Amino acid sequence: MLKTIVKKELLENIFSYRFPLFALLCVVLIPLSMFVNNAQYAKHLRDYGEQVRLADEASSGLKMQDVMAGRVAIKGFRRPALLSIFAQGFENALPRYYQFTQDGYAQGESASGDESLLSTQGKFDFVFLVQMVISLIGLLFASDVISGEKESGTLRAMLSNRLPRDAVLIGKIGGGFGALLAPFLVAFVLGVLLLLTGSFPLFAGDTAARLTVLALAASVFVLIYYVIGTMVSTSSSKTRTSLVAILLIWSGFQLVIPKLSDMFAALIYPVRTETQVSLEKSLVNNTIETETAKELGRQYDLVFGSAKPGTADDPKSPERQKWDPLRDDIQLRAREKKAQQIAAIEETYAQQKRRQQNLAVDLSLISPSAAFGRLVADICETGDLARAKYLEAVRAHQKALDNALFGKVKRTLMLHSGGRMTMALQAEPVDPKNLPKFTVTPASLPDTFKENWRSLLALAFWLVAPFAVAYTRFRNYDVR
Amino acid sequence: MIGTIVKKEIAANLLSYKFFVVILLASVLIFTSLFVMARDYKARLADYQLNKPAVGDATAVLPPNPLSILAKGLDESMARSIGVNVTGFDVQSGQKSGNIVYAFFPAPDFVYIVKLVMSLVALLFGFDQISREKENGTLKMMLANSVSRASLLAGKWIGNYLSLAVPFTLVTLLGIALIGLDPAIRLSAGHLGRLALLIALSLVYIALFLSLGLLVSALTQRSASSLVVLLFLWAGLVFILPNLGTLLARQIVNVPSTKALSEKRQQIWTSEILMVYAKNGEWNGQAWNERRVSMNREFDRLEEDYRRQADRLVRLSKTINRISPAGGFIYAATDISGTGIGEDYRLKQDIIRYKNQILADMIREKRPYPAFTYHYRSVGQVLAEGGLIDVAWLLTAVILVFAAGASALKRYDVR
């Protein structure tokens, strides 16, 4: 009996006017969005390759005099994410590169830059289509699943036979969702095939696995909205009422909750901006440098104050024997103090951001759309996880460059009494070809699932709870 | 007779739960949007205060535009700090509110709410105006009396439009008044004028979707069918068409990447400077100045080539996107607010002029450098440079759709 109901629902949907409209929408838009985003990705990848090549050329021609003069800024570029073709996420908002200098790192401009002119109408990727368009259509298809049958009088006729209500409900959900899923998956596969004609590296790394997970997640998301629509349909006796309720639910899930969650999180746990943190770090840097310069100047005057001229240049003189370890000790303590204070600022900021973000994520999980969006963005390496990995790589690279390059230059700035300033420079030779390369290690798929357990739980909840409500309500539904 | 129908429609709306739920939703969204965007604006303003160039610095940076609270548009991109030096531009990241999440979900500004939600609300008001009356059997009774179909449609349109427009305008004005009370948000008389225009434009946009609802209602026999058709149309007009133009334009116009170009340029220039410095221990002198001027001209030419292609892309994209009223609405709204494509283009031209002036001052060793100043286009200029096309298209669309609805109702089977 269940199979008969599923077949009936499937055929009814396929032969209705809604199905060809929906199928056309999917088959045109999904492959089109993938094709165009692929062209954009290819362009960004070419740019990235060229920029990395130029940056490597620049750093291989590095001279220690330039490092000593503080004129060197090394750039580390972020490779565009392959799966940004499907979910742009933060791809255009993240900085294209970070700049590393003796004084720390600074972010460059974002990937959107000049392209922002074309983003005034919003972005248009596969995930956006699923979240905003297909979810709405799923709700619409489900809006008259029960109330429509009641209005036409066929529900009473159906249930007057020996048809258990749960079989009717499950059959309707199964058949209706099947009619939605088929064109959706066909469109997705067509899109991927189109990408393959453009040498999309489907079998490189875990790309195939990620795409499979993406298709699965999107299918579950569409099912969730279909079940929510069915729940609304079992709660009203008129299709018109279901439709209004559905539109309100959709607006709430898509437009209200994702925005409100971040707003409430920002209100409850306000966090300073990156500019403010950056300025604070600069202040600490400058303060410690000035204090160190004064201390070095004072000690220098004490050691060499009464010595003969030229003693400071004679490494064998007793004054130099005294001065060198003293200077190194002061500089080491200053470096440690600076590293400690800057690390404390960064750690505090990171903790505050994490707290705010966790709250925002928790609140946004009230909306299945937000949970889905965050999960698939991380699967496609354009979400919060990618942002965190990028920053992690930036910090690690700054440390590596400090050890391999910037730390080889000892700039001894001294502020003497009377306001006189002197600077001594010492540099160890560095082979620019051996400088560390900037790389970002992406999160693995198991790690992505681990980090997104809350989103997965939320999606599971949104699948089960509306079904349970629909089931309970339909059992008590007045079919007369 | 029209007056009676108008009064009847308003009364019916006020007595229906749908009206209150929908108006409540729209109000919550508008207030939330204004509040969230006002916070975003204040955070960006605080960032600007920290990053403001000192007197004599050669940096071009604009403070965030208060009207970006309602229409964010390109404000973040326009507010990037651009340092001018011997190699040309050094583009910094813009002011950040910390809300990078708006890169994830679209910025929930007022214009976005109107484009998406108010259009949907207008459809909800209009979708069953004719088909429901037919389902209830009241349509044939109404028309059996001496009520012309034209006055019926006009009365329904006016009644429903007033039921929408009045609460919408009141909620919007209240929201703007509340954020205007914040001392950090300074709205000048010019800003208020633009706000009034923005609200008027939004009302035209809402009128269009109400007319569309009435049209489809007059073409279908069941209100459920009209709503389904309208929702497909809405998805097409609001989501699909406005983005299709950009997708298609990218396929037709190929814009060379400026990033690799500017990196190469920076590298060549930096090497030249370091070579000269290593040789002379300084960088000035007649030959060097001439070299700087000629390099600058070369870079400007490269930049101009790129800009010409990029402008072609943007113009084509705009032309196609404008077919959708949502596309036209966004362009007009952002242009009026000073956060649109036209303003961005003008700003970039001004920055190039500023750069050339600074370079001339560098050569003449004239200090301190002048500050960068920018004057937003007047409303008249905005309309003359394309804004009028979008406004006129929206108004024309309202008239055409209403006329189509009237024509459909004339042939409607009321039995």
Average pLDDT rounded to a whole number, residues B318-324: 86
Chain B residues lying within 8 Å of A120, measured CB to CB: 73-74, 330-331, 334, 340-341
Taking the model in full, what pTM does it have?
0.83
- Average pLDDT estimate for B107-132: 86
pLDDT tens for residues B43-77? 888 888 877 888 888 888 888 999 999 998 888 87
Confidence of residue B334 (pLDDT cuts 50, 70, 90): very high
pLDDT in tens, A28-47: 889 988 988 898 898 889 88
> Residue B325: what are its φ and ψ, rounded to 5°?
-60, -30
Question: Is A472 contained in some domain?
Answer: yes
Question: How much of chain A exceeds pLDDT 90, in percent?
Answer: 26
Q: How many CB pairs lie under 8 A apart between chains A and B?
A: 190
Say what the pLDDT of residue B215 is: 92
Report yes or no on A328 lying in a domain: no
pLDDT digits (tens, 9 = 90+) for B120-158: 889 888 888 888 888 777 777 777 777 788 888 889 999
pLDDT at A118: 56
Average pLDDT over residues A106-129: 68
Nearest to B224 among A118, A239, A373 (CB): A239
Higher pLDDT, B388 or A116: B388
Q: Lowest-confidence range among A323-327, A371-375, B50-54?
A: B50-54
Pick the more confident residue, A119 or A254.
A254
pLDDT score at B229:
85
- Higher pLDDT: A255 or B380? It is B380
User: Sorting pLDDT into bands at 50, 70 and 90, what band is B287?
Assistant: low
Residue A304 located in a structural domain: no
**pLDDT value of residue B403:** 92
Instruction: Determine the pLDDT at residue B169.
Output: 94
B116 lies within 8 A of chain A by CB:
yes
Q: Which of A432-441, B177-186, B275-284 is predicted least confidently?
A: B275-284
Residue the block writes with tokens 């910037």 = A406
Pick from B39, B128, B228: CB nearest A140: B228
Contact residues, chain A, for B223 at CB < 8 Å: 240
* Residues of chain A found within 8 Å of residue B132, distances taken between Cβ atoms: 240
Judging contacts by C-beta atoms under 8 Å, the chain A residues touching residue B50 are 275-276, 279
Q: Which of A122, A244, A248 minimises the CB distance to B106?
A: A122
Answer whether B104 sits within 8 Å of A240, measured CB to CB.
no
Q: Which residues of A touch B28 (CB under 8 A)?
A: 256
Best CA proximity match to A78, nearest among A391, A356, A339: A391
Q: Is A374 helix (H, G, I), strand (E, B) or coil?
A: helix
CB atoms A133 and B258 under 8 Å:
no
Asked if the model's pLDDT at residue B284 lies above 60, the reply is: no
Residues of B in contact with A114 (CB under 8 A): 258, 310
CB atoms A89 and B103 under 8 Å: yes
Q: Name which of B25, B96, B224 is nearest A274 (Cβ-Cβ).
A: B96
CA distance A322 to chain B (A): 34
Long-range CB pairs of A266-272 (<8 Å, 24+ gap) are A266/A356, A266/A360, A266/B39, A266/B98, A266/B99, A268/A356, A268/A359, A269/A352, A269/A355, A269/A356, A269/A359, A270/A356, A271/A349, A271/A352, A271/A353, A271/A356, A271/B98, A272/A349, A272/A352, A272/B98
Question: Which residues 156-185 of chain B have a CB within 8 Å of chain A?
Answer: none
Mean pLDDT of chain B: 82
Q: Give the residue from B320, B338, B315, B333 showing the smallest Cα distance to B391.
A: B333
How many domains are contained in chain A? 1
Nearest CA in chain A to B52: A275
- pLDDT band at residue B99 using 50, 70 and 90 as cut-offs: very low
Mean pLDDT of A397-417: 83
CB B71 within 8 Å of CB B333: yes
| Best residue in A114, A267, A376 for a mutation probing chain B (most B CBs within 10 Å) | A114
Residues 36-95 of B with CB under 8 A from A: 36, 39, 43, 46-47, 50-51, 73-74, 76-77, 80, 91-93, 95
| Closest to A413 measured CA to CA, from A323, A285, A292, A281 | A292
CB within 8 Å: A118 and B132: no
Residue A339 lies in a domain: no
Q: What is the mean pLDDT of residues A133-155?
A: 83
pLDDT of A268 reads 85
Q: Which residue of A has its CA nearest to B44?
A: A273
How far is CA A55 from each of CA A19, A74, A76, A425, B111, rounded to the nearest angstrom? 53, 7, 8, 26, 41
Bigger pLDDT: B329 vs A308: B329
Q: Please give the residue of chain B at the shortest CA–CA distance from A134.
A: B235
Asked if the model's pLDDT at residue A199 lies above 60, the reply is yes
Mean pLDDT taken over chain A: 85
Strands B59-60 and A409-415: unpaired
What's the gap in Å between the CA of B91 and the closest CA on chain A? 7
Chain A residues lying within 8 Å of B47, measured CB to CB: 273, 275-276
Nearest C-alpha neighbor of B117 from the set B23, B35, B39, B36:
B23
Note whether residue A455 is domain-resident.
Answer: yes
C-alpha span between A444 and A438 (Å, rounded): 19
Say whether A121 and B246 touch across the interface (CB within 8 A). Answer: yes
Contact check, Cβ <8 Å, B321/A32: no
Q: Which domain holds residue A201?
A: 1-270+365-383+430-480
Q: Is there a domain that residue A444 lies in?
A: yes
Q: How far apart are CA A401 and CA A102, in angstroms?
A: 9
Q: What share of chain A is helix, strand, coil (3-state, %, to 5)?
A: 70, 5, 20
pLDDT attached to residue B98: 47
Among A275, A277, A357, A455, pick the best mutation site for testing chain B contact (most B Cβ within 10 A): A275
Residue tagged 């007022």 (tokens): B110
| Domain-embedded: residue A312 | no
CB spacing of A248 vs B22 below 8 angstroms? yes
**What confidence score (pLDDT) does residue A379 get?**
95
- Cross-strand pairs, A412: A424
Query: Between A47, A148, A383, which is nearest B257 by CB?
Result: A47
What interface predicted TM-score (ipTM) does this complex get?
0.77
Mutate to test the interface with A, among B72, B112, B231, B258 (most CBs of A within 10 A): B231
Residue A77's beta-bridge partner residues? A97
Gap from A118 CA to chain B (nearest CA, Å):
7
- Confidence tier at A79 by pLDDT (50, 70, 90): very high
- The region of weakest confidence among A150-159, A184-193, A218-227, B183-192 is A150-159
- The residue among B412 and A438 whose pLDDT is bigger is A438
Enumerate residues 331 to 370 of chain B having a beta carbon within 8 A of any beta carbon in chain A. Answer: 331, 334, 340-341, 344
- Output the pLDDT for position A68: 66
Confirm whether A240 is domain-assigned.
yes
Residue-wise DSSP of A311-349: GGG-TTSHHHHHHHHHHHHHHHHHHHHHHHHHHHHHHHH
CA distances from A187 to A414, B219, B235 (A): 69, 31, 18
Stretch among B76-80, B87-91, B349-353 having the lowest mean pLDDT: B87-91
Which of A48, A121, A241 to substitute to test the interface with B, most B CBs within 10 Å? A121
Question: Degrees (nearest 5) of the Cα angle B105, B111, B116?
Answer: 65
Question: Where are any strands of DSSP class E within A124-246?
Answer: none
Main-chain dihedrals φ then ψ at residue A93, nearest 5 degrees? -90, -25
For residue range B236-281, list pLDDT tens digits in order: 888 778 777 777 777 777 766 655 566 666 666 666 666 665 566 5
Domain boundaries, given as residue ranges, for chain B: 2-238+325-410
Q: What is the pLDDT of residue B260?
A: 58
Q: Which residues are registered as beta bridge partners of A33?
A: none
